[in-house]
Chains A and B, each alone.
Chain A
Amino acid sequence: MTTTVDTTHEDTDSPFALSHLDALESEAVHIFREVAGEFERPVILFSGGKDSIVMLHLALKAFAPAAIPFSLLHVDTGHNFPEVIEYRDRTVAQHGLRLHVASVQDYIDRGVLKERPDGTRNPLQTVPLTEAIQQHRFDAVFGGGRRDEEKARAKERVFSLRDEFSQWDPRRQRPELWQLYNGRHAPGEHVRVFPLSNWTELDVWQYIAREGIELPEIYFAHEREVFSRNGMWLTAGEWGGPKEHEPVVRRLIRYRTVGDMSCTGAVDSDATTLDAVIAEIAASRLTERGATRADDKLSEAAMEDRKREGYF
Chain B
Amino acid sequence: MSTTTEQLSATTLLRFATAGSVDDGKSTLVGRLLHDSKSVLADQLEAVEHASRSRGQEAPDLALLTDGLRAEREQGITIDVAYRYFATPRRRFILADTPGHVQYTRNMVTGASTAELTVILVDARNGVVEQTRRHAAIAALLRVPHVVLAVNKMDLVGYEEGVFAKIAEEFTAYATELGVPEVTAIPISALAGDNVVEPSANMDWYGGPTVLEHLETVPASHDLTACHARLPVQYVIRPQTAEHPDYRGYAGQIAAGTFRVGEEVTVLPSGRTSRISGIDLLGEPVDIAWTPQSVTVLLEDDIDISRGDLIVPSKDAPPTTQDVEATVCHVADTPLTVGQRVLLKHTTRTVKAIVKEIPSRLTLDDLSQHPEPGRLVANDIGIVKVRTAEPLALDSYADSRRTGSFLLIDPADGTTLAAGMAGDSFATAAKAPAGAGATADDDGWDF
Contacts and interface: CB of A to CB of B under 8 A. Distances in A.
Interface of A: 1, 4-5, 7-8, 10-12, 14, 16-27, 29-30, 33-34, 36-37, 61-67, 147-148, 150-155, 161, 170-171, 173-180, 182, 184-186, 197-198, 200, 202-203, 206, 209-210, 273-276, 278-279, 282, 284-287, 290-291, 300-301, 304
A67 B4 contact: no
- Closest 4 CB pairs between A and B? A184-B414, A290-B43, A151-B68, A20-B13
B4 A275 contact: yes
A65 B221 contact: no
Interface in B215-261: 216-221, 224-225, 234-235, 237-241, 243-244, 247, 251-253, 258
A185 B415 CA distance: 9
Contacts, number: 237
Nearest to A155: B68
B11 interface: yes
Given A175-B416, A206-B9, 13 more contacts: A4-B214, A11-B219, A20-B12, A27-B294, A64-B283, A147-B83, A178-B419, A179-B253, A180-B406, A275-B5, A276-B1, A287-B41, A290-B47
Contacts of A14: 221
A295 B192 CA distance: 37
Contact of A182 (B207, B221, B407): B407
Contacts of B293: 18, 22, 26
A203 B87 CA distance: 11
Interface residues of B, number: 93
Interface stretch (B106-114, B168-176, B364-372): B106-114
A25 B252 CA distance: 13
Given A178-B405, A202-B8, A154 B294 contact: no
A4 B2 contact: no
A278 B106 CA distance: 38
B221 A287 contact: no
Given A61-B282, A65-B283, A171-B79, A16 B224 contact: yes
Nearest to A210: B9
Contacts of B240: 66
B9 A20 contact: yes
Contacts of A5: 217
B331 A175 contact: yes
Given A33-B252, A178-B402, A304 B70 contact: yes
A11 B83 CA distance: 24
A186 to B, nearest CB: 7
B290 A16 contact: yes
Chain B interface, DSSP helix/strand/loop, else mixed: mixed
A273 B235 CA distance: 38
B186 to A, nearest CB: 11
Given A10-B219, A290-B43, A279 B110 contact: no
B416 A20 contact: no
24 contacts: A1-B207, A4-B209, A7-B219, A11-B221, A14-B221, A16-B258, A18-B12, A18-B221, A18-B292, A19-B10, A20-B12, A33-B252, A63-B251, A64-B283, A66-B237, A66-B240, A150-B68, A154-B83, A155-B82, A178-B401, A178-B402, A178-B405, A275-B1, A301-B70
Greatest chain A CB density within 10 A among B13, B214, B240, B241 is at B13
Given A16-B224, A171-B71, A287-B43, A61 B283 contact: yes
Nearest to B308: A37
Nearest to B69: A170
B209 A16 contact: no
B51 A30 contact: no
Contacts of A17: 12, 220-221
A153 B194 CA distance: 31
A227 B418 CA distance: 55
Contacts of B5: 206, 209-210, 274-275, 278
A62 B362 CA distance: 42
B271 interface: no
A198 B15 CA distance: 10
A175 B243 contact: no
B181 interface: no
Nearest to A161: B414
A291 B234 CA distance: 40
Contacts of B79: 171
Given A179-B253, A186-B413, A290 B83 contact: no
Contacts of B407: 177, 180, 182
B19 to A, nearest CB: 16
Interface in B1-32: 1-2, 4-5, 8-13
Contacts of B419: 175, 177-178
A174 B415 contact: yes
A175 B217 contact: no
B208 interface: yes
B112 to A, nearest CB: 9
